[in-house]
Chain A
Amino acid sequence: MRSCDPWRPFAAFMAWHLALQSTYMRWVMPGIAGIVVMAVMVALAVLTSTRRGARVGVAILLAYQLALAVARFPLTANSSYLTVLVLGVLLLLSSSSRTPRRVVLERGEELRRTVLFVLMVIYAMAGVQKLAQGYWHDGEFIVLTLLADLSFFAESMRHLLELGALLLGSAGPLVSTSGPWSLGATPLLVPDWLPAVAMGLSLSFVLAELLVPLAVLWPRTRARALAPLVVVQVGIGLSSWEIEFMSLALGCVALSTRRPRRNLAIVLAGEVVHYLLRHRLGVEI
């Protein structure tokens, strides 16, 4: 058992993570209501960061997140379910100032194990779903996303492919979808190597989602698997632009590292940079 209790740093991370996420409320609730929600979330983060107010802060955050998840049901985001689950586990494994040190450390260990288990099952199940639905067997999902997605990332990938086609030789540039008006088949002018690359990427994603969680859950390989796990998380998070989920997942992994306090702070710092880029400097990805 480790000598440091990860409960308080993790509770503070969750609270500040949610406070940063609440900045999105300005789109849902324009005007003063959105600002009030953001101010309350920041106040809750401050409360959760204190020794005495941490449990109360986590309890209020859990109630708030639960209410949000119910309000958005059935379109509740998966990251929202994960947040509720993690906050619930956090509250369940909290300790008071009278709790013996040994029990506090045991609960900290239980927190690490449970959160990591939940996260690994999420990745593994996402891999199972991809295998079952068939769109990832031959790279079809990746190419469809490249064709139809209007995000900055997909747009950049299209330009990158065109550049690659120019440099490496190809059958032509990637053709965008012709929309619902034309139901017929349209030739897909893609670089010669795209089918192989798309299939390789597809299978890599699915295999990583299935194998890395297994390696993390297996005690003997856990320590070595944490670094690949971070790579997988960042890869998936950036390619699908699921920054909210990526930050939460990285926080959950940081909890299981040898220096949870430092690593949680690094993840949070990354989130702050993303917030500043997006909201203050207007860098829209």
Chain B
Amino acid sequence: MSLRRATLLGVRVLVVAWPLAHLILTVATPMSRWKLGGLGMYAEPDASQRSVLVIALRGIDPQRPLPSIGPMTGMHRVLERGARGGLVPRPWEPRAGAGAIEAAFERFSVLASAEAAQELVTATGEGSALVVLALPRVDLRQRVHYHEVHAFLVTDTESLELGCIARTPQSSVEIEARLREAWRAHAQARPPRLARRAGPRDPSEDD
């Protein structure tokens, strides 16, 4: 077989083998299906539809209920991909670490590990944070649009997976109650750590 024919055969093998390997990788790890030429783009919604909330826990007493997610405007950050690409951190402006945040955000999918949550929180410059992953879903039978919600708790010393908070359509009250419950359960199990790291009290909590 000539070198030319062998190369053409190699091309054919490559275009069959790599997408299959990519498929296995994306099913088993948090690797994005939109990356590395695995032809998996459009197999799932792109990152612009994924919402990740990094809720800073500075100044929040672990023994008290977690403030509602809705009104926590000054205390939580929504890292969201804009519809035209690029990361849109809200409500704060992009800053120097935006590249690192973007890289950590890319790895933050439903398969993300506690380590990935730790990386994300470190990139945002927070110490302790509750990380909430919200994946948009649609149930056409029930005709409802909802979020599949997963949560992680990251402190200076550890990162924990709090598990799936909502896999089926739930009300926002229910989801927030579950988040609070998961956080409270953890805080009660480890009160000294979070209490020691509690920073200055946030004025918005007084509301």
Residues of chain A whose beta carbon lies under 8 Å from any beta carbon of chain B: 74-76, 78, 81, 85, 88-89, 92-93, 110, 114, 117-118, 121-122, 125-126, 128-130, 132-133, 135-136, 138-141, 143-145, 147-150, 171, 175, 177-190, 194-195, 198-199, 240
Contacts and interface: CB of A to CB of B under 8 A. Distances in A.
Contacts of B4: 92-93
B35 A74 contact: yes
Interface in B1-33: 4, 7-8, 11-12, 15-16, 19-20, 23, 27, 33
A28 B38 CA distance: 25
B196 interface: no
Contact of B39 (A78, A110, A179): A78
Given A129-B43, A148-B136, A182 B172 contact: yes
Contacts of A136: 43
Contacts of B8: 89, 92-93, 110, 114
Interface string B31-50: 00101111111111100110
A180 B78 contact: yes
A184 B175 contact: yes
B49 A133 contact: no
Interface stretch (B59-67, B113-121, B138-146, B154-162): B138-146
Contacts of B181: none
With a 10 A CB-CB cut-off, give which of A74, A149, A189, A199 has the most chain B CB atoms. Answer: A74
Contacts of B140: 138-140, 143, 188, 190, 194-195, 198-199
Contact of A76 (B11, B37, B49): B37
Contacts of B38: 129
A126 to B, nearest CB: 5
With a 10 A CB-CB cut-off, give which of B7, B15, B175 has the most chain A CB atoms. Answer: B15
Given A114-B11, A129-B33, A182-B70, 13 more contacts: A76-B36, A89-B11, A118-B15, A121-B19, A132-B43, A141-B42, A143-B140, A180-B51, A183-B149, A183-B176, A185-B147, A188-B145, A190-B140
Nearest to A121: B15
A245 B33 CA distance: 18
A93 B4 CA distance: 8
Given A129-B43, A141-B44, A149-B83, A118 B138 contact: no
Main secondary structure of the interface of A (DSSP, over half): helix
A33 B92 CA distance: 33
Contacts, number: 156
Nearest to A76: B37
30 contacts: A75-B35, A76-B37, A78-B39, A85-B15, A88-B11, A92-B7, A93-B8, A117-B12, A118-B11, A118-B15, A126-B43, A129-B39, A133-B33, A140-B138, A141-B44, A144-B138, A150-B84, A183-B134, A183-B175, A184-B147, A184-B173, A185-B144, A185-B145, A185-B170, A185-B171, A186-B144, A188-B143, A189-B143, A190-B143, A198-B140
A76 B134 CA distance: 26
A141 to B, nearest CB: 7
